[in-house]
């Protein structure tokens, strides 16, 4: 039976960061020799200062990925991160189907506004004052001719798909609806009572205001967005027959609501978002009721 051989004496080792210091300690992650000043307590054993810093960087990177892409990730508005777009195409299909219905009833694609369906839904202030308040909403789904429809639906697609991904389906639909209502109320408040209006432009301009606020929040280049908004505003004021009041009403409401949607602090995000939308809707209803009373008196409409 042979005797156990004694282990050879280990040569003195020095700290990786301080060569003048001898040590018998190692980092449990990289296994480099380190003096006590260069080690930090870890979940298991001790790690050197380089490994601790690397672990922090990795954790920060994982957190960024989780916030941006991972399961349960949220946008600045609190929506789950997704590439799926549902509400925007459904709105486009709905507008398209209603246009087809009016054109079929009128027997003309170019003169669809002569259909009964169109006339029953377009926004005309005296009829709204007479009790047909739903025209504030239905008018936003009616379009005069295919070119009017095409322009609005293209704008809805290019603006809506990005905003829907940022805000989420419910918030985006709420933004669209309150912008639509804002445009309708603006027309009802200030438009010539002899004019009637139709079109999704109020809601579209609400999305224009929303995309501007979102770009500011995300610190994106604003040049292109500002140019597009400027061009649309010039068209609103310069082209005859366009209801610029509806455009400005939708733009103002959409901008205000989006500020609350993307700037609300995370810890109170939902109450701020819901509360802001509710207050805006309440304010629009109040303004509508005041104007309604004025027009009822003006036209002698029985209450």
Query: Catalytic residue among 179, 201, 236, 243, which?
Result: 201
CB 74 within 8 A of CB 81: yes
Answer yes or no: 243 catalytic.
no
Kindly state the tokens that stand for 96: 């398209």
Tell me the Ramachandran region of residue 297: left when phi exceeds 0, alpha when psi lies from -120 to 50, beta otherwise.
alpha
Secondary structure, 3-state, 272-283: HHHHHHHHHHHH
Show the beta-strand stretches assigned E in the chain.
39-41, 46-48, 123-124, 196-197
- Supply the DSSP symbol for 36: G
- The gap from C-alpha 231 to its chain's centroid, in whole angstroms, comes to 22
Show the beta-strand stretches assigned E in 27-145.
39-41, 46-48, 123-124
Non-local CB neighbours of 263 within 8 Å, separated by 6+ positions: 217
Answer yes or no: 247 catalytic.
yes
| Total Cβ atoms within 10 A of residue 89 | 14
- On the 0-12 / 13-18 / 19+ scale of CB atoms within 10 A, 19 is exposed
Which sign, positive or negative, has the C-alpha torsion 37, 42, 45, 51?
A: negative
- Supply the DSSP symbol for 22: B
Query: Catalytic residue among 139, 148, 179, 247, which?
Result: 247
Which of the residues are catalytic? 201, 247
């Amino acid at each position: 039976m042979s005797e156990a051989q004694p282990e050879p004496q280990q040569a003195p080792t020095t700290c990786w960061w301080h060569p003048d210091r001898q040590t018998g300690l190692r980092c449990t992650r990289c296994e480099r020799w380190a003096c006590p000043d260069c080690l930090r307590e870890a979940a298991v054993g001790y790690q050197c200062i380089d490994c601790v810093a690397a672990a922090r960087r990795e954790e920060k990177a994982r957190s960024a990925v989780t916030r941006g892409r991972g399961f349960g990730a949220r946008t600045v508005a609190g929506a789950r991160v997704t590439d799926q777009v549902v509400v925007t195409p459904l709105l486009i299909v709905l507008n398209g189907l209603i246009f087809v219905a009016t054109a079929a009833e009128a027997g003309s694609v170019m003169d669809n506004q002569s259909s009964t369906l169109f006339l029953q839904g377009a926004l005309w202030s005296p009829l709204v004052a007479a009790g047909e308040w739903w025209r504030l909403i239905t008018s936003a789904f009616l379009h005069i001719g295919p070119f009017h429809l095409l322009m609005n639906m293209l704008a809805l697609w290019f603006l809506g798909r990005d905003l829907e991904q940022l805000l989420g389906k419910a918030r985006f639909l709420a933004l669209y609806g309150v912008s639509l209502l804002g445009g309708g109320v603006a027309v009802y408040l200030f438009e010539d009572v002899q004019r009637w209006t139709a079109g999704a432009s109020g809601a579209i301009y609400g999305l224009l205001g929303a995309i501007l606020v979102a770009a500011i929040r995300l610190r994106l280049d604003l040049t292109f967005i500002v140019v597009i908004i400027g061009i649309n505003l010039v068209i609103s004021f310069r082209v005859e027959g366009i209801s610029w009041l509806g455009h400005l009403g939708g733009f103002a409401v959409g901008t205000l609501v989006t500020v609350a949607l993307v700037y609300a602090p995370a810890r109170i995000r939902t109450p701020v978002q819901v509360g802001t939308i509710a207050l805006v809707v309440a304010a629009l209803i109040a303004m509508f009721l005041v104007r309604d009373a004025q027009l009822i008196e003006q036209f002698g409409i029985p209450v």
